[in-house]
Amino acid sequence: MIYSETRLYMALRKNKNKFRSRFLPYSLLWLSLFLISGNPIQQYPPGRWDTIIENQVFRTPLNLDEGDDNVLIINSTFYNINEDAITLRNVSNVYIKNCDIHGISGNGIVLSSTGKTDNVTIDGCTIYDTTKNGIIAKQNYVDGIDHTQLMIKNNTLYNNGSGELDHAIYVQVQDSVIQNNEIHESAGNGISIRSSGIVSGNKVWDTQKSCIRYFGDNETGPSNTLLIENNTCYLTLGGAESPGISLLWWEDSSPSWIVDNYIIRFNTVVMFTDQRIGIKVESSQFALKNINVYGNIVINTQNIDATLHKDYIDYLSSNYISTSLEGFVNLLTKPFDLHLTALSPAVDYASNETDYPLVDMDGLPRPTEHLDAGAYQLERSHYSPPAGILIDVGIIVLIFIVTLVIKKRVAA
């Protein structure tokens, strides 16, 4: 049910639409002046929106249920709420964009276990200071509840949860996409994924547990594949039972639940403690699955043996492992910058691979002949040569010019 102030807002919006054709020429004139002035214009996501909740402030929960389809929630604030901030069930085509959610005693956004959803997108929101999970999408296999076509992208989440079972992003549903989010300081995992899907382009650091962890306690989706690529992860905190990227088996899982295919590729993982392993398949039951780990950078500054464990992995290739932090742009001040410099040993390290993401974490193309390990591809067309090379080139050019001058004088 939508709140009364939102209904009033929508009524005004509908009345305004009645006069749109009459005032169209004036609207176009205003629009042209607006564009000329250089002021930004609000861009709605493409789609059909029967209800738009815009620029609202909520101090009580917002619950969307059956009949609340085709809803856009944009540029709104949810704070100091003593329950979950937003709950979705039995709805389709809901887009939550650029919202600020904080000071929540429950979860930030919940996709309920008591009602399905389809085509939900959570995009560009900032979610912090939640007592429970930042975002949680539940699966209920007994009642056939799932949330199809779920997309979680471009969000910033931090300080989520009060215990190890609370995560920044906690997704149980099938074949979700978790992309380009920035996550830090969660009480549990940064991203806890419990079924098949895609986890790509996320920056995760200093979570109490893993940056990205698969735990097989929900049914797999039609793809039967979990793809983890182009992510960065660094952990300066201890935590012996929580690798940077982890696959973990739940002993009570039905064999049919567990994803069959895993691809962990072109991620950058840096551990600053020997209590944590960079990438690890944690359970022997995964020996029956197809696991591919390649093209990653895995650093442990304390122990080379705590970088990448090889157990139960079927294809292991082109992973640059080290204890050295050489070759990164910035590892002095947080948030660290894990882009590569031209001096990085990871440059060209994965050039033998034939199957790889076509772009890196920034969207920069990955050329076949110059595949760098890790989440970032070195932008060769724009990087500056090392200072020593510049000095050497300068000396050569200077010698060449002096030689020409001497020759001209001798000829004269």
pTM of the model: 0.83
pLDDT at 77 over 60: yes
Express each pLDDT in 119-173 by its tens digit: 999 999 999 999 999 999 999 988 899 999 999 999 999 999 999 999 999 999 9
Query: Are residues 389 and 245 located together in one domain of the fold?
Result: yes
Q: What are residue 204's DSSP bridge partners?
A: 183, 233
Residue 241 is predicted with a pLDDT of 82
- Please tell me whether residues 202 and 341 are part of one structural domain: yes
The whole-angstrom separation of Cα 73 and Cα 216 is: 32
Q: Does 58 lie in the same domain as 35? A: no
Q: Do 396 and 352 lie in a common domain?
A: yes
Are 23 and 122 in a shared domain? Answer: no
| 371 closest CA partner among 317, 304, 311, 292 | 317
**140 shares its domain with 22:** no
Q: Note whether 193 and 308 are same-domain residues.
A: yes
pLDDT of 256 reads 80
Number of domains in the chain: 2
CATH assignment of the domain containing 230: 2.160.20
Residue 369 — pLDDT band, cuts 50, 70, 90? Answer: very high
What digits encode the pLDDT tens for the residues 274-333? 999 999 999 998 999 999 999 999 999 999 999 999 999 999 999 999 999 999 999 988
Domain hosting 196: range is 44-411
